[in-house]
Amino acid sequence: MRNLTIQAQRAVFWIAAMLVLGFSGCNEDGISLSTDFSDAEPYDPSRPIEITSFTPDSGGLGQRMVIYGENFGNNPDSIQVYIGGKKAKVIGVLGESIYCLVPRKAFSGAIEIFMGSRQEGEEPLAVADDKFKYQRKTIVSTLTGYKNERDDQGWNPGHFDEASGFRENCIMNYDPLNPDVLYISYDHGPGIYTLDFKDSTVTKLIDGSAVNNQRRLRGVSFTNDGQNMLVGHSQGNNNNPAVSIMSRANGFTDPQVLIRARGNQGVAVHPVDGQLYFSEFQTGTLRRYDVENSQLLGGTLGNKDYEDLFSIQDINWEFYLVIHPSGDYAYIIVINQHYILRTDYDWENKRFKTPFRVAGEPRVAAYADGVGTSARFSTPYSGVFVKNLDYAGTEDEYDFYITDRNNHAIRVLKPDGRVDTYAGRGSSSLDSDPWGYVEGDVRLEARFNQPTGIAYNEAEGTFYIADKQNRCIRKIEAE
């Protein structure tokens, strides 16, 4: 009973210590390091260290833990705690208790204590009898890219560890015949870049000015056979390219004008019928082009042989179409007006029907989770369908993940119309602003700064996010 009382007192102390976080100097985790532990007895090397218990007994990355025992000392800089073979962040030591943070990927759960600098092969001075039950989390990390203090790192292809750039709005799409390659089309000049996951390299495929000096690249897609890449262009003149085409045979470096029109904001190919869909900003019109029956690499390209289907609502509507893998419907992300439409597919006539609103409010930039039109976005930019195994056997087995750029978050639109925040806007106790550069738990800690592009690797269960203002490509995955 006495031991329980002492442990309760220690727990109260650590809770009190945690309450003063933010009122003094904080470390990189936002935890106060200024609490005075000098009243506790220092570590005595002539006595053994003992671990008697710890709390809680389970949790994941960043879980706050108190370890109880004897002869821990009073210097958090001299004691090292390892959980599951990974070094934990020690916040404070109070003789018979240690306050620490559970490290990433502490899978085995073994709790070990060392003193001083741990040497390779060194045996721990104490090992807990029980193991911590590590719970795998979905976490946000950085795949490639960085931002220095002056933000002048420039665009530099190369290995993931060294590459830089990634500073404009973009659309991401996997190579349909090579899942190791992800293409990124950047607006306002940079061009098309590739991420090669097999070689861990970033490569510049083609400059933004390669097609008649049209630098506004607004999306990349592929014909259904994977042999041709289609790139959207946003220009204000009918004589400018709206869609260009490049062949796999020539390494996607032989751009030709496929369609001439103005104000295109993206390209999408129907996964079954192969029709090409693109938009016009000035009139808010969705257009259809029979790309499979056109003379792709011969004859006269660039003629006005597309069909206007419908206007989504008004003029000057910037929107991006994402087609469901089944081809049954598509979502229209209205970027500059902050809402999402759905358009169902007419299989008989091979065209999309007049759309209807499913989420958000036109002209209202705000942040709110909710069902359907009660949800709010602020510049939603691009999206990707992801199969949800929990929906197996239902009519629609896919969720739709959206980069909500000016809300600095990844949102998810479910088949029942509910919109939730999936990632970002965490760490609110450290900073009331929703943006930033923070890795860790997908909701509790992670932060983005204007995410735009999004891609999903189904085999890995991994998202890749183009984080514009942080100048990098982020990664969301389960540990």
What does the DSSP assignment read for 38-102?
Answer: TTSPPP-TTS--EEEEEE-SEE-TT-EEEEEEE---S-TTTEEEEETTEE-EEEEE-SSEEEEEP
Write the DSSP symbol of residue 281.
T
Instruction: For domain 138-478, give its CATH number from 2.120.10.30, 3.40.630.10, 3.30.420.40, 3.40.50.450.
Output: 2.120.10.30
Residues sharing a CB contact under 8 Å with residue 422, sequence separation 6 or more, in sequence order? 401, 409, 410, 411, 412, 442, 443
CATH number of 2-134: 2.60.40.10
Q: Residue 389 in 3-state DSSP?
A: helix
CA distances for 339 relative to 31, 169, 358, 366, 435, angstroms:
39, 18, 8, 10, 21
Are 76 and 93 contacting, i.e. CB atoms less than 8 angstroms apart? yes
- Residue in the structure block whose two tokens are 């949790």: 59
Are 366 and 429 contacting, i.e. CB atoms less than 8 angstroms apart? no
Q: Please tell me the predicted confidence (pLDDT) of residue 400.
A: 98
Pairing mode, strands 462-467 and 58-59: unpaired
**Which uninterrupted H or E stretch holds 219?**
strand 217-222
Cis peptide before 355 (omega within 30 of 0): no
Tokens of 232: 């959207």
Are 241 and 259 contacting, i.e. CB atoms less than 8 angstroms apart? yes
Q: What is the pLDDT of residues 325-366, one digit of tens each?
A: 999 999 999 999 999 999 999 999 999 999 999 999 999 999
Q: What is the pLDDT of residues 101-121, one digit of tens each?
A: 999 899 999 999 999 988 888
Tokens of 335: 């970027």
Q: Which residues, given as ranges, of the chain have pLDDT below 50?
A: 1-6, 8, 12, 15-16, 18-35, 296-302
Are 456 and 386 contacting, i.e. CB atoms less than 8 angstroms apart? yes
Radius of gyration of the chain (CA): 27
Q: Which residues of 368-394 are buried (b: 16+ CB within 10 A; e: fewer)?
A: eeeeebebbbbbbbbbbbbeeeeeeee
Q: Please tell me the predicted confidence (pLDDT) of residue 11.
A: 52
- Residue in the structure block whose two tokens are 């209202």: 364
Q: Please tell me the predicted confidence (pLDDT) of residue 211.
A: 74
- Residue in the structure block whose two tokens are 């860790």: 440
In angstroms, the CA 312 to CA 373 distance is: 16
Q: What is the pLDDT of residues 7-52, one digit of tens each?
A: 545 554 554 454 433 333 343 343 344 445 556 789 999 999 999 9
Name the nearest CA neighbour of 257 among 307, 212, 224: 212
Q: Please tell me the predicted confidence (pLDDT) of residue 4.
A: 43
The answer to pTM > 0.95 is: no
In angstroms, the CA 77 to CA 98 distance is: 12
Residues sharing a CB contact under 8 Å with residue 389, sequence separation 6 or more, in sequence order? none
Q: Please tell me the predicted confidence (pLDDT) of residue 428.
A: 74
**Which uninterrupted H or E stretch holds 339?**
strand 339-346
Cα within 13 Å of Cα(230), Cβ side = 28
Q: What are the residue boundaries of the structural domains of the chain, listed by start? A: 2-134, 138-478
Q: Please tell me the predicted confidence (pLDDT) of residue 127.
A: 98
